[in-house]
Structure 1
Amino acid sequence: MLALRRSLIALVAIVGVVAGAVTAWVVTEASDGGAHATRGEAAIGGPFELVNTEGETVTDQDFRGRYMLLFFGFTSCPDVCPSALMDMSRALDRLADAAPAKLERVVPVFVTVDPARDDVVTMAAYVENFHPRLVGLTGTPAQLRAAADAFRVYHEKVMPETYFGGDAPERHEKGDYMMAHSAYMLLIGPSGGYVANFKHEAGPAEIAAGLREHVDAS
């Protein structure tokens, strides 16, 4: 059942990234009057205003000049989120060993899609379980919805029996809920533009290799 759920979430992730990328290709008129496609940047990313674990308001502008390694999830997530954040942490440790100058240019960021439960205190306690540089961001429902939309991240409140395929653990009380969400990790460049994405199945070695490839240490 766990493998099935991960496959479904990964499929959502792939669809979201592909949809965003496809809409970003620009069709222009060629010099001979015909239409041709030119290479463009994926339409992923944009302005946001959220709150960090110190209770301070931060925006996309606070990350300019650095790369964001970005993941959306929620602290009550039983498997996908902690495994993704652990992979992120281990990838950053690998990057520190192989290319420390590049590590300094990367900011790992975890944004909740569950603002009702993931307040500042909850997020602060949660991110301490992962990389010491991990930035946790929360906010109002409207703020988080705008951020998720900007980065083409799917998220939806579902009941435990839906999330777990009818086999909800007893610890989930009646009326409780889970968050179905995209499970890809995004690399956002110093100017705020999309650079790359890593699917959920990508392990620390693949993520670290991608960072070495895409991050400019200058």
Structure 2
Amino acid sequence: MNMRRIAAATLALLLAGPLSGCAKEPVGKPPLEGARIGGHFSLTDQDGRRVTDRDFAGRYRIVYFGYTFCPDVCPTDVQNIAAALKLLERDHRALAARIVPIFITVDPARDTPGVLKRFVSAFHPRLVGLTGTQDEIARVSKDYGIYAARGAGTADGYLMDHSRQIYLFDPDGKPLALLPEGPPAAIAQEIIRWAR
């Protein structure tokens, strides 16, 4: 009977995969290394200032595309990003200080700087909101591999159909990885994994 229990316990451990606390598997190359995602841009932030990608040089960037009138997905994702950054600020302060979270609207017609300011300030004090002309947003969306189009109308206006990616870029603006949509601890762990 003891042998059966030992065999069952051994099998359960094998099926469970590597144990936490065991030797870390090598990090290897970032999954998006060499991908043609990202690039130069010039947009307007939530304070009405023109900013370019160069304004974020030297810092890791979490980049998310969405819109402030989104009824569910965008606020949830941005909340998870903000909560992940707060975890890093608590446990890995030096790394957190080198990260800038960026929200780029796919709905520039409604997402003016003032609207973005109210939105981003509700999530994290360092969250940057960016908007621009329709052409500027179309260009940056294309460069970052984001699909966005005006969707169905509702009693309150219209919805936007768009891709749902959370990118991590290195201090030179090169793509490192796609971050999970949540929970915050998983996002923070993935940032720690690739931000060296």
Could you say which TM-score interval applies, normalised by the shorter chain?
0.7 to 0.9
Of 174, 178, 181, the match for 1:197: 178
In the other structure, the counterpart of 1:187 is 168
| TM score, norm. by length of structure 1 | 0.73
Out of 162, 170, 177, which is 2:158 matched to? 177
Q: Does 1:133 align with 2:142?
A: no
1:184-216 deviation per Cα after TM superposition (whole angstroms, max 9, x unaligned): 10001111110111243x310110001111123
Secondary structure, aligned partner of 1:153: coil
| Structure 2 segments unaligned to the other structure (5+ residues) | 1-31
The SS at the match of 1:205 is helix
CA distance in 2, matches of 1:83, 1:117: 20
Deviations 1:36-73 (A, max 9, x none): xxx95111111111000111111111111101101000
Distance 1:40 1:173, change over 3 A: closer
Aligned residue among 89, 110, 121 for 1:117? 110
Deviations 1:117-168 (A, max 9, x none): 00111111111110111001011111111111111011111114xxxxxxxx
Code of the residue aligned with 2:147 in structure 1: it is: Y
Question: Which ranges in structure 1 are unaligned for 5 or more consecutive residues?
Answer: 1-38, 161-171
The percent of aligned pairs where both chains have the same amino acid is 39
4+ runs of 1 displaced by more than 4 Å? none
Taking the TM superposition and a 5 Å limit, the aligned residue runs for 1:139-150 are 139-150=132-143
* Structure whose CA Rg is larger: 2
Pair 1:94-2:87 in alignment? yes
Q: Contact 1:183–1:199 at 8 Å: present in 2 too?
A: no
1:46 has 2:39 as partner = yes
Q: Give 2:148's aligned residue.
A: 155
Query: Aligned AA for 1:198?
Result: L
Equivalent residue runs for 1:1-80 within 5 Å: 41-80=34-73
Normalization by structure 2: what TM-score? 0.81
Deviations 1:4-49 (A, max 9, x none): xxxxxxxxxxxxxxxxxxxxxxxxxxxxxxxxxxx95111111111
Question: Is 1:208 aligned to 2:188, yes or no?
Answer: yes
Q: Distance in 2 between matches of 1:57 and 1:40?
A: 29
| Alpha-carbon distance in 1 for matches of 2:120, 2:175 | 24
- Confirm or deny: 8 A CA contact 2:87 2:185 kept in the other structure: yes
Asked if the contact 2:180/2:186 (under 8 Å) is kept, the reply is no
Q: Tell me, what secondary structure is at the counterpart of 2:190?
A: helix
